[in-house]
Amino acid sequence: MTTAKFVAAQPKALSAAAQWLIQHKEIAPVMAFYGPMGAGKTTLIKSLCKLLQVSDEVNSPTFSIVNEYLTSENDSVFHFDFYRINKVEEAYDIGYENYFYSGNLCLIEWPEKIAQLLPEKHVEVLINPDEETGSRNITCKLIGV
């Protein structure tokens, strides 16, 4: 299992973690972002999309559940926020399989709500805020690879 650890003291420092994720997107295009509310999941996803040259505005799809962005290469990036779902069947209703198994990059906030639906091969991104320093401790792991 490949693991990388990063410490980001400010949002600009997220680029190292975002770059690592980009380097592994061909191996595991489904990426699950874990962390408490306000940990910086969306901010890290914005940093990742910036490096991919996404021209669309990147915002958490809290109410729509999924947003699609296009990169400068015209590749689709799907951004999910499962915070508001109450049962896993709601992920079936949006056709999660069409996204997760498309080969396109899928960035998932609140994946614990649909844990049993994650592909065997994916990236787990754990974001833990350090209350004392205000920095973010980020651990990225390749799962099932």
CATH of the domain at 32: 3.40.50.300
Mean pLDDT across 6-12: 84
What SS3 state is found at 140? Answer: strand
> What Cα–Cα distance (Å) separates residue 77 from each residue in 11, 67, 106?
21, 8, 6
* pLDDT of 135 strictly over 70: yes
pLDDT digits over 76-134, tens only?
999 999 999 999 999 999 999 999 999 999 999 999 999 999 999 999 999 999 988 88
* pLDDT of 13 strictly over 80: no
**pLDDT reported for residue 131:** 86
Range of the domain at 80: 3-143
Per-chain mean pLDDT for the chain: 93
> What Cα–Cα distance (Å) separates residue 126 from each residue in 4, 6, 98, 109, 138?
11, 10, 25, 11, 6
- How many domains, in total, are found in the chain? 1
Tokens standing for 72? Answer: 């400068």
**pLDDT reported for residue 1:** 58
Give pTM, 2 decimals: 0.94
In angstroms, rounded to a whole number, what is the distance separating the alpha carbons of residues 14 and 87?
A: 32
Give the residue with greater pLDDT, 134 vs 4.
Answer: 4
